[in-house]
Amino acid sequence: MDKTLKLVWKNDNGENYSIGKLTHEKGKYYFEYNEGEVKKAIENGFSLIPGFPRVNAKYFREELFLVFQGWLGERKANEKNLEILKETTNENFIFLDQQEIS
């Protein structure tokens, strides 16, 4: 089943930025930044995520990206990765369903 989550970064002032999206589609994972939000976030202290150095690129992989696998902790990566990530926080990051934030 195809699914997309938005990645939201929260700065130290409590401001939220919808910096990108992670999609699982046809057995592959895709990540891309939201360029406009990333530029605003960078101005407010955001650093690009390791493994995703280009803001204007769309990344893809057949397995969940290593950086996000690390966020799963001891939970094993499986077909429910996006659901598990939605329940996981990592420092200033959270994943939300596509419709939960504009």
Q: pLDDT 10s digit of each residue in the chain, 102 long?
A: 588 999 999 999 999 999 999 999 998 999 999 999 999 999 999 999 999 999 999 999 999 999 998 888 777 667 688 888 888 777 789 989 876 544
Q: Which of 15, 75, 85, 1 is nearest to 45 (CA)?
A: 15
Query: Which tokens sit at 37?
Result: 């939000």
Instruction: Quote the pLDDT of residue 60.
Output: 96
pLDDT given at position 70: 86
**Pick from 62, 69, 71, 6: nearest CA to 34:** 6
User: How many CA atoms are closer than 13 Å to the CA of 3, on its beta-carbon side?
Assistant: 13
User: Which pLDDT score, from 0 to 100, does residue 77 have?
Assistant: 66
The tally of domains found in the chain comes to 1
Domain that includes residue 27, residue range: 3-100
| Confidence (pTM) | 0.87
